[in-house]
Amino acid sequence: MSRLFGTDGVRGRANADLTPDLALRLSIAAARVLGAVDHRPVAVIGRDPRASGDMLAAASAAGLAAAGVKVIDLGILPTPAVAHLTALTGADFGVMVSASHNPMPDNGIKFFAAGGRKLPDEVEDAIEAAMDDPAPLPQGDGVGRIARSVDPVESYIDHLVAACPHTLDGIKVVLDPANGAATGAAPEALRRVGAEVITINADPDGLNINEDCGSTHMGGLRAAVVEHGAHAGIALDGDADRCLAVDANGADVDGDAIMAILALAMREAGQLRGDTLVTTVMSNLGLHQAMGAAGIKLEVTGVGDRYVLERIGEGGYSLGGEQSGHIIVSDHATTGDGTLTAILLLARMAATGKSLEELASVFTPAPQVLVNVRVTDKSVIDHADVRSAVALWQAKLGSDGRVLLRPSGTEPLVRVMVEASEEPVAQSVAAELVAVVEHAMG
């Protein structure tokens, strides 16, 4: 039986894989595990604006209340805001209904422990096991209540403004919030710290979240930055825990480049604890080389920002993230926060007077090819032919390249990543590995 939880919570096609019944049972189980305290447990719950969010958030809140939890409904709010408010309110745990960067028909449910931290695997496993718990639910005054929070967005914006190290006066930025959860909070926060903000894809209707926009479709942002003569562009995803950027020329600045810029800024300010950056196996070899040249150590984890967070916590580090744009600055957040990342990145531009292109030039990426292969069974990566092909090509590329195959934690995909000293070589190797995967599926 496959594990219910993926890389980032429970995710699937809304009303097919992820039904109100599943949301109800999952939330009851979560309440039994995360709400095992000596008082009436309290949980906050938020969602992104996708159409199925009302349905699944209502089912989740009902499950929590049925298990005796006092529920504070935050409404539509970014994932990092839910994490922040879990900590700020002293809630026993938090719930976010979102499928992040996935297309609109999908949705997901993710949980935060007390303090706004993501759950380790063993706690997720305990929640999954508790779904079969036959214990009776509370009755009478043991049933929980559901209340609406008063202006949670304002509390989150205040937190972002307080984290800004330098005014953004004079910075013009184009912001693409992906018709998602940060459509209100992100532009307001950027304006309050001094930026001139032009927004695109900022009219969510429940159906257009992530649709040809945001961090997964950046063509519109590139064009808008050039059209408006902006200093930079910022792309968030649907729940705003990711941030990618575009420089004034319309060139992409990915999570690796953003981490390199922030690592150098934080070290200069004495804030990069252990002179260490935590990242995942997906980060480019160029990041390793750039940080090595600067005397900054890299700690490498498996894919998923929660593994980055775990390592940050274990080592007492202050910065980590993923190439995809999940950036964690632990002095200000317990999870990836796209708007916070944008503020810190733009503040570095303002403080140094340097363009984003100049700041990003510290990082020269090795040619990298990433291909998503749709599969019916993600265990195909363990097929003998696939493993043999990966070993063969890694040996051939040697220290000048890298091969990584991994299953997506959120979609029926195998991700094939190849780095090499030259782009055509990376393309060729990736194509051969894709063919091997497809052949192994029969």
Which residues does the annotation mark as catalytic? 100
User: What is the rounded CA–CA span in Å between residue 54 and residue 215?
Assistant: 24
Q: Are 60 and 27 in contact (CB under 8 A)?
A: yes
User: Which is it for the CA torsion 33, 37, 42, 46, positive or negative?
Assistant: negative
Count Cβ atoms within 10 A of the Cβ of residue 430 and give its class: 0-12 exposed, 13-18 middle, 19 or more buried.
buried
Residue 352, both tokens: 């140094």
**Helix (H) or strand (E) segment spanning residue 301:** strand 297-301
User: What is the rounded CA–CA span in Å between residue 80 and residue 84?
Assistant: 6
DSSP string of 189-205, one letter each residue: HHHHTT-EEEESS----
Q: Are 5 and 37 in contact (CB under 8 A)?
A: no
- Tell me the sheet residues that pair with 152: none
User: What is the rounded CA–CA span in Å between residue 349 and residue 361?
Assistant: 13
Residue-level length of the chain: 442
Binding-site annotation: residue ranges: 100, 237, 239, 241
* Pairing assessment for the beta strands 402-407 and 276-280 based on DSSP bridges: unpaired
User: What is the rounded CA–CA span in Å between residue 323 and residue 326?
Assistant: 7
User: What is the rounded CA–CA span in Å between residue 241 and residue 338?
Assistant: 5
Smallest CA-to-CA distance from 182 within 214, 140, 218 is with 214
Smallest CA-to-CA distance from 93 within 4, 147, 30, 145 is with 30
DSSP string of 393-427, one letter each residue: HHHHHGGG-EEEEEE-SSSSEEEEEEE-SSHHHHH
Binding-site annotation: residue ranges for Mg(2+): 100, 237, 239, 241
Q: Are 305 and 336 in contact (CB under 8 A)?
A: yes
